[in-house]
């Protein structure tokens, strides 16, 4: 058993890694309606950077594939709605260090004849095959130290250069400046645990790495230089600025409002949400000026949207009014029009709150700058060695 596999077993207990990712609580409304569409948006951008064309094969290597979330997203309805029916022309290989994960993934995706899963350690070597898309989801790279991540990325870049491909690499890690762990903002690696899923055992703490965009960008460029591979472009994306998993647990910021639970409540027509609790009210830590500036601006706009919805419900919430940019205006107008045409009984839960959730989602997606302020920081690296 490898060192990393031993670490995984230590965290979850034997077979708990698989139970963890198959937890029924994992795919909540936020994951389905906020996080997965965002990930698919990045994946579509990544595919556009490759040589893939409809009718040709898209060769994918999914790093830290776990139970196969990557292939599920690539072949999901979300991708097909954008015109990418990858079921017909995808060649997918998932690689994971945990054998139990690979065996479970093979069982889950046994109906897909274009899917393979292999046990392997990307710090040591990669399958000697040509891939157009190097995928990751679920922050597998944060399990590695920065030095190990550089080695893993160097292996990827060397594989791209060796096979002379035009490829895209998606690197997702835990964001350093998430509101979920404000007290840890001055640290790059610390003991973390995934205690937000239902399982038969309690997850222990395990060291994980956290990155700002600046830090990840430097590491990627160093790995490319070591591999003698020239990068075409890098884009960064922040996913789950307000709704990271640990906004549900308060594990590292006990006084934090349970924002993920509250947003899930907005999308549940059987629930009524506490608008006051939903207001962005977070004591920020020390961080670069661009991080603080982002949060201060975002806070004003987030809270203004909630304030407009609260007014229509006859409520008041704390804080000062803020002027929304044009692209985020229209909530009050849309709510009034929907209320005028509605005959439902629970207007607040059925109409007002779901529409507010839509505007808050749009705000989070449209204002993110890929700084490392969300639960997940995603880098899209384009490489042309063709």
DSSP state of 385: -
Question: What pLDDT is stored for residue 161 in this prediction?
Answer: 97
Is 48 in a helix, a strand, or coil?
helix
Question: What pLDDT is stored for residue 22 in this prediction?
Answer: 60
CATH topology for the 3-241+371-384 domain: Rossmann fold (3.40.50)
> What whole-number distance in Å separates Cα of residue 65 and Cα of residue 117?
8
C-alpha angle 185/172/154, rounded to 5°?
Answer: 105
> What whole-number distance in Å separates Cα of residue 313 and Cα of residue 372?
35
* Ranges of H-type helices in 67-131: 69-74, 77-80, 99-108
Question: What pLDDT is stored for residue 11 in this prediction?
Answer: 39
Q: Name the residue with tokens 């109409």.
A: 351
Sign of torsion, CA 213 378 16 144?
A: negative
Give the rounded distance of the alpha carbon of 26 from its chain centre. Answer: 13
Instruction: Using alpha carbons, select from 40, 28, 5, 8 the residue that is nearest to residue 237.
Output: 40
User: Which residue ranges of the chain lie beneath pLDDT 50?
Assistant: 1-14, 199-201
Give the rounded distance of the alpha carbon of 169 from its chain centre. Answer: 15
DSSP states of 270-281: T----HHHHS--
Instruction: Using alpha carbons, select from 362, 276, 280 the residue that is nearest to residue 326.
Output: 362
| Domain limits, CATH 3.40.50.150, in the chain | 3-241+371-384
> What whole-number distance in Å separates Cα of residue 170 and Cα of residue 211?
15
Listed in order, strand segments (DSSP E) in 176-319 are 189-192, 206-211, 231-239
> What whole-number distance in Å separates Cα of residue 231 and Cα of residue 365?
26
Tens of pLDDT, residue by residue over 278-318, are: 999 999 999 999 999 999 999 999 999 999 999 999 999 99
pTM of the model: 0.92
Tens of pLDDT, residue by residue over 142-151, are: 999 999 999 9
Asked whether 243 and 30 are in contact (CB, 8 A), the reply is yes
Give the rounded distance of the alpha carbon of 386 from its chain centre. Answer: 30
Long-range contacts of 285-291 (CB under 8 A, 24+ apart): 285/182, 285/183, 285/185, 285/186, 286/185, 286/186, 287/177, 287/185, 288/212, 290/371, 291/177, 291/212, 291/371, 291/372, 291/373
Instruction: Using alpha carbons, select from 357, 302, 316 the residue that is nearest to residue 334.
Output: 357
Is 375 in a helix, a strand, or coil?
coil
DSSP state of 348: I
Sign of torsion, CA 131 134 135 140?
A: positive
List the structure tokens of 232.
Answer: 């075409």
Question: What pLDDT is stored for residue 54 in this prediction?
Answer: 67
């Amino acid at each position: 058993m490898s060192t990393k596999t031993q670490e995984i077993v230590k965290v979850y207990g034997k077979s708990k890694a698989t139970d963890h990712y198959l937890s029924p609580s994992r795919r909540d409304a936020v994951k389905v309606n906020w996080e997965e569409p965002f990930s698919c948006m990045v994946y579509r951008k990544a595919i556009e950077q490759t040589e893939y064309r409809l009718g040709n094969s898209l060769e994918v290597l999914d790093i830290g594939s776990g139970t196969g979330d990557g292939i599920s997203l690539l072949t999901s309805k979300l991708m097909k709605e954008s015109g990418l029916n990858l079921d017909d022309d995808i060649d997918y290989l998932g690689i994971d260090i945990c054998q139990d994960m690979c065996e479970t993934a093979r069982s889950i995706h046994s109906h897909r004849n274009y899917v393979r899963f292999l046990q392997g350690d990307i710090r040591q070597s990669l399958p000697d095959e040509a891939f157009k898309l190097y995928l990751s989801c679920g922050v597998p790279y944060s399990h590695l130290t920065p030095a190990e991540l550089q080695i893993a990325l160097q292996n990827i870049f060397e594989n791209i250069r060796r096979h002379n491909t035009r490829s895209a690499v998606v690197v997702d890690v835990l964001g350093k400046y998430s509101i979920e762990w404000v007290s840890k903002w001055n640290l790059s690696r610390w003991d973390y645990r995934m205690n937000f899923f239902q399982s038969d055992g309690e997850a222990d703490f395990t060291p994980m790495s956290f990155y700002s965009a600046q830090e990840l960008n430097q590491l990627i460029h160093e790995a490319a230089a070591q591999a003698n591979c020239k990068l075409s472009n890098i884009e960064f994306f922040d996913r789950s600025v307000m709704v990271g998993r640990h906004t549900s647990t308060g594990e590292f910021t006990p006084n934090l409002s349970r924002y993920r639970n509250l947003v899930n409540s907005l999308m549940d027509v059987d629930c009524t949400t506490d608008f006051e609790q939903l207001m962005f009210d977070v004591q920020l830590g020390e961080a670069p000026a661009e991080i603080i500036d982002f949060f201060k601006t975002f806070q004003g706009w987030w809270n203004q949207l909630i304030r407009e919805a609260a007014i229509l419900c006859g409520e008041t919430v704390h804080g000062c009014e803020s002027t929304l940019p044009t692209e985020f205006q229209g909530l009050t107008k849309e709510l009034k029009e929907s209320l005028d045409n509605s005959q439902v009984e629970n207007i607040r839960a059925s109409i007002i709150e779901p529409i507010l959730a839509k505007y808050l989602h749009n705000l989070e997606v449209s204002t993110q700058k890929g700084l490392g302020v969300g639960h997940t920081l995603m880098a899209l690296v384009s490489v042309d060695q063709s």
